[in-house]
């Protein structure tokens, strides 16, 4: 029996090679129901009996396309009167829905076989209000190929548990500021491809960072669930830092993929032995592709507040495990020379949220806002790196000065307590410089930016004196009283202007609103630089921060409360055009999708940059 089976397998392989080695008549046929009802979903199939490439389907202007083209391949072996034949068919199917009554023509499709283009037949579909009222059966199909498929094939099916997505969280009850990791895994029993995210999860109340690098190969493993083996792969991995305490919800992730499922066929040869043999899964399993929409489970996070007892005065929300140190380039110098003072926070935790230090300088020192530099590296347990604050300090007067220690305070997750670290105290000896009285301006934080604009004592003029008539005095003249009055008026105006400026500076939200566009454009300039360098990760970070930061500053929305809904409500309140609101929302979605979606990102960088620049300009014009 075993020898007979081997002989038949070898014979089948010989028939297959003979069938592919000789030329055959290529046929390319279209088939579908001829009569369908309004609202009915039906299939249109294009079948070629050869291996083809570059399939181009027709347009379906009078129907709603549910899915397609869905490719499948089938083969069959027949034995009639001792003669065995083998056939191979490649099918491309569309699932359509009829929307209105009438008679409509479906144009031919084309396919290329051996560098020759073949065209299928056209189809005429009659759509009626009530299926079955016509003299012809609505389910009738006049194509012999389709009748063979109906008799010998079973439609492709995929169970609901063949492919699914599940979200996992490392800690569902963290402390405020403690990092947690959300991992999205896909479980599958069948081959899948073309994974595309349709809706990314939003993280209101969290600061987030993607942990999966661009084009990183997904970690795959196998897992037994309910007695069945699944292939498991990580598709997204995000670290989240809660910005507030309470119950926070993470929306589900939605995606689409193409699943490949088996479609068994039945072969009739007339010989019971051959029927049993060739109906074996080795010969009679064709494959079909099915589009599947997947949705992960939502997650609920119960964020606990940090301990309220013994909170240090300088605590600003840093949570993790950190070290803190400082360096100074010189302690002995002359007036108008610059000192570079650098503070570095390093460790693991919400390090990117550390944006300021409690630093004070002597009143005789001129200082500027620090230059902040971040070096962040995603790790398996969260985020680690350094945050550097660099100060430029310029002493104006000679003498001995002291830079007091700077204290950095954070909540240590390992010790479960607040920890304070202080830098050393620096003694500064400033000697008198040769150009102390000269005027100096500063255009940046580097010593190279300091410009000397003073000049030496001007020479005494030797020109003749101007003579005036006797009896004319400046005292008591109209010009004299104007000179007395004008300074008083100028002083009053100056006081009013000074008070208004102080009031504006005290209004933080107003200042943010006024500078929102400038800050956004600065970030877009940085993004343009990363675009030219093809630095995709930094480019998408700058674009995302430009859009979200612009919304936060312009509409006085805290970053923790930013979401698509709050953005939409704020724009509507400002009477922004609905089309511009829609474009802004699409730009935000495109940016977040391109930033976190796997695959090649450089194709979208130019498009996203232009969209971001254009939509911010449009909103500015609307708000004027």
Q: Residue 193: which pLDDT band, with cuts at 50, 70 and 90?
A: confident
Statement to judge: residues 126 and 197 lie in one domain: no
Statement to judge: residues 393 and 447 lie in one domain: yes
Domain of 256: which CATH number?
A: 2.60.40.680
Domain of 532: which CATH number?
A: 1.20.120.330
Statement to judge: residues 298 and 230 lie in one domain: yes
Structure confidence by residue, pLDDT tens digits, 353-367: 888 888 888 888 888
| Number of structural domains in the chain | 4
Statement to judge: residues 44 and 125 lie in one domain: yes
Distance CA 373, CA 70 (A): 51
Residue at which a domain ends, from 126, 152, 178: 152
Statement to judge: residues 144 and 167 lie in one domain: no
- Is residue 613 situated within a structural domain? yes
Alpha carbon 139 to its chain centroid, in Å, reads: 46
**Residue environment code for 140-150, b if the CB has 16+ CB neighbours within 10 A, otherwise e:** ebebebbebbe
Structure confidence by residue, pLDDT tens digits, 366-399: 888 899 988 888 777 778 889 999 999 899 889 9
Q: Would you state the pLDDT for residue 11?
A: 54
The domain of 61 spans 25-152
For 111, counting Cβ atoms within 10 Å of its Cβ (0-12 exposed, 13-18 middle, 19+ buried), the class is: buried
Q: Would you state the pLDDT for residue 280?
A: 52
Residue at which a domain ends, from 451, 467, 486: 451
Q: Would you state the pLDDT for residue 534?
A: 80
Mean pLDDT, rounded, for 237-263: 87
Q: Residue 43: which pLDDT band, with cuts at 50, 70 and 90?
A: confident
For 456-498, give the DSSP string: -PPPPP-PPPPP--TT--STTSHHHHHHHHHHHHHHHHHHHHH
Termini Cα distance of the chain: 89
Structure confidence by residue, pLDDT tens digits, 80-135: 555 666 667 788 888 888 888 899 999 999 999 888 889 999 999 999 985 443 33
Statement to judge: residues 327 and 442 lie in one domain: yes
- Is residue 392 situated within a structural domain? yes
Q: Give the mean pLDDT of the chain.
A: 77
Statement to judge: residues 173 and 135 lie in one domain: no
Domain of 83: which CATH number?
A: 2.60.40.10
> How many C-beta atoms lie closer than 10 Å to residue 104's C-beta?
16
Statement to judge: residues 56 and 129 lie in one domain: yes
Place of tokens 């100060």: 391
Q: Residue 344: which pLDDT band, with cuts at 50, 70 and 90?
A: very high
Statement to judge: residues 192 and 130 lie in one domain: no
Distance CA 169, CA 182 (A): 5
- Is residue 2 situated within a structural domain? no
Q: Residue 523: which pLDDT band, with cuts at 50, 70 and 90?
A: confident
Distance CA 523, CA 588 (A): 15
Mean pLDDT, rounded, for 39-55: 85
- Is residue 19 situated within a structural domain? no
For 1-47, give the DSSP string: -HHHHHHHHHHHHHHHHHHHHS-----EEEEE-SEEETT-EEEEEEE
Q: Would you state the pLDDT for residue 217?
A: 66
Q: Would you state the pLDDT for residue 314?
A: 82
Distance CA 546, CA 591 (A): 11
Distance CA 264, CA 200 (A): 36
Mean pLDDT, rounded, for 246-260: 89
Q: Residue 275: which pLDDT band, with cuts at 50, 70 and 90?
A: low
- Is residue 298 situated within a structural domain? yes
Task: Pick the range with the lowest mean pLDDT from 258-262, 283-287, 497-501.
Answer: 283-287
Residue at which a domain ends, from 152, 185, 207: 152
List phi, psi (to 5°) of 573.
-60, -30
Statement to judge: residues 79 and 48 lie in one domain: yes
- Is residue 555 situated within a structural domain? yes
- Is residue 18 situated within a structural domain? no
Taking the CA atoms of 411, 413, 419 and 421 in sequence, report the sign of the dihedral they define.
negative
Residue 345 has pLDDT above 80, yes or no: yes
Distance CA 179, CA 171 (A): 9
Q: Would you state the pLDDT for residue 187?
A: 92
Residue 411 has pLDDT above 70, yes or no: yes
Distance CA 567, CA 584 (A): 9
Statement to judge: residues 114 and 170 lie in one domain: no
Q: Is-contact 542 374, C-beta < 8 A?
A: no
Mean pLDDT, rounded, for 235-258: 90
- Is residue 386 situated within a structural domain? yes
Output DSSP code: residue 287: E
Structure confidence by residue, pLDDT tens digits, 195-235: 888 888 888 889 888 887 765 667 788 888 887 889 999 88
Statement to judge: residues 617 and 513 lie in one domain: yes
Q: Which residues pair with 326 in a beta bridge?
A: 343
Distance CA 588, CA 544 (A): 8
């Amino acid at each position: 029996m075993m020898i007979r089976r081997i002989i038949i397998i070898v014979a089948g392989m010989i028939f297959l090679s003979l069938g592919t080695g000789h030329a055959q008549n290529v046929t390319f046929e279209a088939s579908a129901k001829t009569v369908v009802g309004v609202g009915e979903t039906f299939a249109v199939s294009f079948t070629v009996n050869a291996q083809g490439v570059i399939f181009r389907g027709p347009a379906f202007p009078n129907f709603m396309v549910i899915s397609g083209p869905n490719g499948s391949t089938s083969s069959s072996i027949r034995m009639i009167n001792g003669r065995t034949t083998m056939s191979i068919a490649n099918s491309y199917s569309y699932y359509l829905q009829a929307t209105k009554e009438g008679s409509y023509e479906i144009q031919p499709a084309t396919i290329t076989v051996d560098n020759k283009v073949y065209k299928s037949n056209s189809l005429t579909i009659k759509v009626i209000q009530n299926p079955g009222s016509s003299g012809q059966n609505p389910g009738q199909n006049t194509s012999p190929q389709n009748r063979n498929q109906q008799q010998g094939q079973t439609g492709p099916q995929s169970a609901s548990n063949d492919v699914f997505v599940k979200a996992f969280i490392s800690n569902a009850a963290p402390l405020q500021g403690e990092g947690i990791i959300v991992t999205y895994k896909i479980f599958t029993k069948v081959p899948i491809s073309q994974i595309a995210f349709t809706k990314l999860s939003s993280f209101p109340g969290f600061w987030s960072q993607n942990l999966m690098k661009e084009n990183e190969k997904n970690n795959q493993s196998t897992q037994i669930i309910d007695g069945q083996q699944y292939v498991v792969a990580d598709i997204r991995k995000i670290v989240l830092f809660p910005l507030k305490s309470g119950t926070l919800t993470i929306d589900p992730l939605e995606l689409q993929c193409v699943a490949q499922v088996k479609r068994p066929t039945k072969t009739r040869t007339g010989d019971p032995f051959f029927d049993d043999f060739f109906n074996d899964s080795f010969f009679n399993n064709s494959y079909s592709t099915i589009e599947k929409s997947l949705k992960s489970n939502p997650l609920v996070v119960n964020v606990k507040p940090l301990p309220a007892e013994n909170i240090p005065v300088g605590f600003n929300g840093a949570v993790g495990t950190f070290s803190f140190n400082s360096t100074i380039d010189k302690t002995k110098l002359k007036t108008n020379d610059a000192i570079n003072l650098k503070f570095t926070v390093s460790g693991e935790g919400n390090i990117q949220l550390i944006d300021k230090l409690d630093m004070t300088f002597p009143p005789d020192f001129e200082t500027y806002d620090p230059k902040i530099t971040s070096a962040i590296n995603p790790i398996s347990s969260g985020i680690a790196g350094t945050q550097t604050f660099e100060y430029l300090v310029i002493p104006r007067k000679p003498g001995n000065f002291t830079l007091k220690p700077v204290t950095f305070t954070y909540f240590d997750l390992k010790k479960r307590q607040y920890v304070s670290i202080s830098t050393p105290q620096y003694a500064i000896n400033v000697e008198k410089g040769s150009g102390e009285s000269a005027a100096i301006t500063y255009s940046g934080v580097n010593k190279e930016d300091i410009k000397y604009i003073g000049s030496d004592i001007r020479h005494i003029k030797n020109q003749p004196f101007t003579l005036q008539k006797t009896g004319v005095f400046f005292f008591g003249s109209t010009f004299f009283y104007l000179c007395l009055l004008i300074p008083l008026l100028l002083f009053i105006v100056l006081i009013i202007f000074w008070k208004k400026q102080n009031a504006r500076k005290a209004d933080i939200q107003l200042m943010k609103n006024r500078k929102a566009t400038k800050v956004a454009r600065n970030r877009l300039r940085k993004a343009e630089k990363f675009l030219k360098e093809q630095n995709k990760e930094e480019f998408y970070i700058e674009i995302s921060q430009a859009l979200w930061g612009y919304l936060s500053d312009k509409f006085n929305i805290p970053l923790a409360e930013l979401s698509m809904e709050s953005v939409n409500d704020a724009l509507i309140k400002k009477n922004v055009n609905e089309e511009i609101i829609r474009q802004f929302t699409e730009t935000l979605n495109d940016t977040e999708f391109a930033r976190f979606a796997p695959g090649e990102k450089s194709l979208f960088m130019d498009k996203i940059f232009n969209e971001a620049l254009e939509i911010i300009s449009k909103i500015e014009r609307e708000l004027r």
